[in-house]
Amino acid sequence: MGRIHLLDPLTVEQIRAGEVIERPASVVKELVENALDAGARTVSVRIRGGGIDEVMVQDDGEGMSPEDAALAVHRHATSKISHSADLFSLSTLGFRGEALASIAAVTHFELLTRVPTAIAGVRVKVVGGGPAEVVPAAAPPGTTVTARHLFFNTPPRRAFLKSATVEGNHVEEVLVGLALSRPAVRFRFTWDQREVFDVLPQERVAERVEALLGTEWAHGLIPLGTEEDDLVHEGIGVTGLIGLPHRHKNTRTGQYFFVNRRFVKSQPLSFALSRGYGELLPTGRFPVGVVFLTVPPHTVDVNVHPTKREVKFQDERAVLQTLVQRVRRALERADLFKTVIPTGVPPDLPASQPGTVPVSPAAPLRLVVKPPPFAVATTTVPTSQGGTAPQPGLWQRGEKTTFRVIGQSHELFVLVEAEGELWLIDQHAAHERIVYEQVLTALQSRGGESQPLLLPLTFELPPAARAAVEEMQEYLTILGFDLRPFGGSTYQLQATPPYLHPADTPALILELAQGWAEGRLDSSIEAKLQDLAARIACKVKAIKAGQALTLEAMQALVSSLLACRAPFVCPHGRPTMIRFALGQLAAHFDRR
């Protein structure tokens, strides 16, 4: 007798069920997605024992006829697609037609449903994938599915489940994602008699975020852009909210991604989000965000995994690049001024480079003779739209900002008096921001200055860097470098931009080449140019911490800073200034 035999249908059923249903959270996800596909306005979810003992999902959607209800619990029974081609023009969350069958295979399952126009409803009961018992029943319009005793008939699977608390937390996480994806739908979630949330229909994602995750969570978010914002590039749209850099966490749990309104988990998207923050984030920390991507349906495959939690993009690079750019733009637009909050504790002033410059606590302020007030035109930064518009920044106030440089402190900070405010500017960070924008402008306008070297410099480059240098050649020329191959691995530099020390240049070129080659994800030219500019900004004859500045130099520094597009952060994302409102200062002196 042969050793191979066909598995019995029940075993097959349970194996397949395991692909879709991993834990209570998967049951909840599938049932809620069905409710949403059925056009529910209200979805109520109740769990007991973390969802292991019971999951109940009730909706007020279109319901099912008795015939449909009886069929729905069979595998590959779906009303959502007919042909495989439909997979690429999906407008529903479900399509595989196996969720109900899978849940019914591993639980005590009960479905109660009624089409709103029908007089009577129907009840369908299945125990562990056994025969369906279908009986007429009184039912509210819509559908209620109850699944009890998850994996009661597959003890090994059950053994993989974690504690009720852990499983319940997974359920909550999934529900939060689903509720974020549909602000217009009311979501109620009850866990062991305790109401965890009940969020009413809302118009905007921002309101939903606040209702669901709390005011504190919703604080310090900035809009990624709006539909009107011309955000669709190559058919890729990005909207949502992301956290200000200080909101970082040590896990990715504060990140919610949606692709065509489907809640998904995606490591590449998460990486792209982080990448958009660049050095605004300390290493090993993760930003928070609720990010909605829209792509043409035929360019995304949601059928790569039975649980549909993963998606595959036809052109993943384009999607990721777009996300990175949108995040950068949103952060650039945002008001990233550090404002001191009156708390009674002394304000905590971040040093630009901790530990590099010894600061003597007794060092006196160097006050400078009062110069006449000084006016500069500032660039207006477009106010972001949407309900969560940040506090108006300085540059949004008016055409002209008047300021007066008071002096320099500790050869680190420039003190400035502005209308109703006192600013403390980190001279080194400020100068880096200015140079960064100048270099970027030169790159974008293709007009960098070049200074010939009296003695051309020759140096060697490793093979990988040589390839990158070749690719970058055009930009190096625009920047003012005259770099020529000199045979083999040798290169000769005949001119550099005037703001660089020639002697620093070979190391810089090597670094630029490595950076260029590494920027795997951001292979967009825009991102590469930003990267080039940031790297160059670090290497210029910058104003350093610990350098005495004349009044004129300080005035020029502040004027140039205010003329920047993003004056408030250095290219690495550290703040360039801290702003004290006089009212806040007064509060520190117990004055009102």
Choices 10-18, 88-96, 159-167, 258-266 (CB under 6 A): range interacting with ligand ADP: 88-96
Cα–Cα distance for residue pair 502/485, rounded to 1 Å: 17
**Minimal CA–CA distance to 14: which of 102, 107, 110?**
102
> Of the candidates 14, 26, 143, 384, which one interacts with ligand ADP according to CB under 6 A?
143
Length in residues, the chain: 592
Q: Which of the choices Mg ion, ligand ADP, none does residue 64 contact, using the CB cut-off of 5 to 8 A by kind?
A: ligand ADP
Q: Which of 16, 53, 70, 79 binds ligand ADP (CB under 6 A)?
A: 79
Q: Which residue is nearest to Mg ion (CB)?
A: 94
Neighbouring residues of 89: CB distance < 8 A, sequence distance ≥ 6: 297, 298
Closer to ligand ADP by CB, 77 or 556: give it. 77
> Two tokens at 551?
């009044």
Q: Which is nearer to ligand ADP, 181 or 321 (CB)?
A: 181
Minimum gap (Å) between residue 144 Cβ and ligand ADP: 8
- Residue 124 makes contact with ligand ADP by CB under 6 A: no
303 binds ligand ADP (CB under 6 A): no
- Smaller CB separation from ligand ADP, 143 or 322: 143
Element (H, E) at 201: none
Query: Please, which residues have CB within 8 angstroms of residue 508's CB and are 6 or more apart in sequence?
Result: 500, 535, 536, 539
Gap between the Cα atoms of 555 and 461, Å rounded:
41
Query: Is residue 236 a contact residue for Mg ion (CB under 5 A)?
Result: no
Strand segments, DSSP code E, in 306-460 are: 312-313, 338-339, 366-367, 374-377, 400-409, 413-418, 421-426, 451-460
| Distance from C-alpha of 382 to C-alpha of 267, rounded to nearest angstrom | 32
* Residues within window 89-148 making contact with Mg ion, judged by CB under 5 A: 94, 99
Among 23, 26, 28, 34, binds ligand ADP (CB under 6 A): 34
Considering the complex, state which of residue 64 and residue 206 has its C-beta at the smaller distance from ligand ADP: 64
Q: What is the DSSP letter of 380?
A: P
96 binds ligand ADP (CB under 6 A): yes
Q: Where is 216: in which H helix or E strand?
A: helix 215-218
Residue with nearest beta carbon to ligand ADP = 94
Residue 98 sits in the site that holds ligand ADP (CB under 6 A): yes
CB of 481 to Mg ion, least distance (A): 58
CB 74 within 8 A of CB 64: no
Partner in contact with 26, chosen from ligand ADP, Mg ion, none, beta carbon below 5 to 8 Å by kind: none
CB of 28 to Mg ion, least distance (A): 12
Exposure string for 32-65, b = 16+ CB within 10 A, e = fewer: bbbbbbbebebbbbbbbbbbbebbbbbbbbbbbe
Interface with Mg ion (CB under 5 A): 34, 94, 99
Interface with ligand ADP (CB under 6 A): 30, 34-35, 38, 59, 61-64, 72, 77-80, 94-101, 143
